[in-house]
Chain A
Amino acid sequence: MLIRRPDDIPSSDITPETVYQNRRAFVGTAGALALGGLIAPSALQAMGFDRGAAGMQDEKLTSEDDATSYNNYYEFGTGKEDPKEQAKDFRPMPWTVNVEGLVKKSRPYSFDELVGKLPVQDRIYRHRCVEAWSMVIPWQGVQLKDVVARCEPLPSAKFVEFTTLYDPRRMPGQARAVLPWPYKEALRLDEANNPLALLATGMYGKALPNQNGAPLKLVVPWKYGFKGIKAIVKIRFTDKMPNTTWNDANPSEYGFYANVNPLVDHPRWSQAKERRIGQFLKIPTLPFNGYASQVASLYSGMDLRKYY
């Protein structure tokens, strides 16, 4: 399907293949420094490996097993282990995405029409959940801006809204009104056109697993994980800021922007640190999840405490 090597020159935000390949060697070096099985972040920093914008070098991929068996996907149950079990019989294909709103022509697109023939991207991104755990995941997919362009939005469009499939027979978690179904998420159009924004169709070099949002999942690595809407069936362009599910469910806790920000705590817990799944010690959370140099300019002049 869409799982092939990237056929264009990767932009700077993509982990270069060489770095990716050398990670093994690097992890070996780091392993020598490991104390009791723990990689001391300070030791890595002392070696000059900055966790900042440029580098993913010092960050080990989360094991595929963890990334595909521990996640939130309330459409398949509210427990973190539920989605893997409850989504195992879900059949994503054939898949249709309705493109609506302020576009040249509203119409349904088949999965291949929408994302086929677009350059496939390999991206290793940090994933930071609003619950203060994180992973490092290798995604495959297409740039969202390429999909936006394919949808031909009108100049008046300012926001893009995504909707998850609503079908309680296929998504048993929707039988309970834990959230107002269907799940909706949205981005400002300039956020959607940022080169980091991805529509994932695969991870770990395989088709996107059902429990991770097959067949189409939004990945916006500088935002909390709940922005990464799964199993997208509708893309709507609009000039008004759309409602989003978690914001509707609890506006004081989950904002529209939901940019990763260690300085703005969740009302009930701290966002200053995160636990990287597979590691013991918590690590500091970075502004915009470490992607500040690519995305901070989108929010210049905005009070990020107000627009959390």
Chain B
Amino acid sequence: MRSMLARAESPIRRLIRPALWLLVIVPAVVLVAQLLLDQLGAEPIEALEHASGEWTLRLLAASLAVTPLMRLTGWGWMVAQRRFLGLAAFFWAMGHLSVYIVLDQFFDWPEIVKDILKHLYITVGMLAFVLMIPLALTSSKWSIKRLGGKRWNQLHRLVYVSAIAGCVHYLWAVKKDLEEPILYSAVFVVLFALRFILRKPGPRSPRPVPPDASVTLPAA
């Protein structure tokens, strides 16, 4: 098992970035093509809203899946994919919000403000988006250096709040059939749970000392 993992590491490491780029770009291209070819059904604006919202949550889930995967495999280089996926989720969220402001409300600012203040699912959705802004702004390596790893990590815990808000936004937006939003929320619950189960080795979760006491634990 270990050796299989070791053999897979190098090709995966080489291919992961182009694959993730495809994951982000292809759905966007398909969606725009469908829009231009009038393939989004009777209510194309709603279709765009739903698709962009769902892609935001999918990419957010993907970015939150990186840490558990990293702990399972021990592949530290994956941490860069985490930021990439988080940023991709943010761009889909911007698309989602733009569709709402431009196509749905057509810059009707009084109505938009009223909507945000009065309708809780929109309020919560805006919260989810606003919380992503500082994370997107500090997604560069330079920012990590400047803030220092510890503070950067603390700041980026906001992603949990944003993800929960995103799920609540989805659950509240649906009229009756909650199957899909519940499915999405369940994925996030599993991802959160995995973080507790696969705890980071370190002072907070003492491990039994390995038989060979001279071997130091891998750095977090």
Chain A nearest CB: distance from B4 CB in Å? 41
- The answer for the CA separation of A277 and B42 in the assembled complex, in Å, is 6
Query: What residue of chain B has the Cβ atom nearest to residue A133's Cβ?
Result: B43
- The answer for the CA separation of A78 and B180 in the assembled complex, in Å, is 11
Q: Let me know if B150 is at the binding interface, CB within 8 A.
A: no
Contacts of A273 in B (CB 8 A): 111
Contact with A269, one of B45, B106, B108, B119 (Cβ below 8 angstroms): B119
Query: What residue of chain B has the Cβ atom nearest to residue A270's Cβ?
Result: B115
Q: Let me know if A281 is at the binding interface, CB within 8 A.
A: yes
Residue contact A268 to B121, C-beta cutoff 8 Å: yes
Q: Let me know if A282 is at the binding interface, CB within 8 A.
A: yes
Q: Let me know if A278 is at the binding interface, CB within 8 A.
A: yes
Q: Let me know if A85 is at the binding interface, CB within 8 A.
A: no
Residue contact B41 to A80, C-beta cutoff 8 Å: yes
Q: Let me know if B118 is at the binding interface, CB within 8 A.
A: yes
Contacts of B118 in A (CB 8 A): 265, 270
Within 17-43 of A, Cβ neighbours of B (below 8 Å) are at none
Decide if the interface of chain A is mainly helix, strand, loop or mixed: loop
Q: Let me know if B172 is at the binding interface, CB within 8 A.
A: yes
- The answer for the CA separation of A270 and B120 in the assembled complex, in Å, is 11
Which of the four size classes fits the interface of chain A? 20 to 34
Residue contact A78 to B176, C-beta cutoff 8 Å: yes
Query: What residue of chain B has the Cβ atom nearest to residue A226's Cβ?
Result: B175
- The answer for the CA separation of A42 and B43 in the assembled complex, in Å, is 23
Residue contact B42 to A69, C-beta cutoff 8 Å: yes
| Count of chain B residues near A, Cβ 8 A | 23
Contacts of A268 in B (CB 8 A): 119-121, 172-173
Q: Let me know if A131 is at the binding interface, CB within 8 A.
A: yes
Residue contact A270 to B111, C-beta cutoff 8 Å: yes
Residue contact B177 to A275, C-beta cutoff 8 Å: no
Query: What residue of chain A has the Cβ atom nearest to residue B175's Cβ?
Result: A131
Residue contact B177 to A178, C-beta cutoff 8 Å: yes
Query: What residue of chain B has the Cβ atom nearest to residue A79's Cβ?
Result: B177
Q: Let me know if B114 is at the binding interface, CB within 8 A.
A: yes
Residue contact B106 to A281, C-beta cutoff 8 Å: yes
Q: Let me know if A112 is at the binding interface, CB within 8 A.
A: no
- The answer for the CA separation of A65 and B173 in the assembled complex, in Å, is 27
Query: What residue of chain B has the Cβ atom nearest to residue A130's Cβ?
Result: B175
Residue contact B111 to A275, C-beta cutoff 8 Å: no
Q: Let me know if A190 is at the binding interface, CB within 8 A.
A: no
Residue contact A179 to B176, C-beta cutoff 8 Å: yes
Contact pattern, B 164-207, Cβ under 8 Å of A = 1, otherwise 0: 00000000110111010000000000000000000000000000
- The answer for the CA separation of A133 and B119 in the assembled complex, in Å, is 18
Residues of B within 8 A of A (CB): 41-43, 45-46, 103-106, 108, 111, 114-115, 118-121, 172-173, 175-177, 179
Sort A-B residue pairs by CB-CB distance and give the 7 closest, nearest first.
Answer: A70-B42, A78-B177, A66-B42, A277-B42, A178-B177, A269-B119, A268-B121
20 contacts between A and B (CB under 8 A): A65-B42, A66-B42, A69-B41, A78-B179, A80-B42, A81-B41, A133-B46, A179-B176, A250-B176, A265-B119, A268-B119, A268-B120, A269-B119, A270-B114, A270-B115, A270-B118, A270-B119, A275-B45, A277-B42, A282-B108
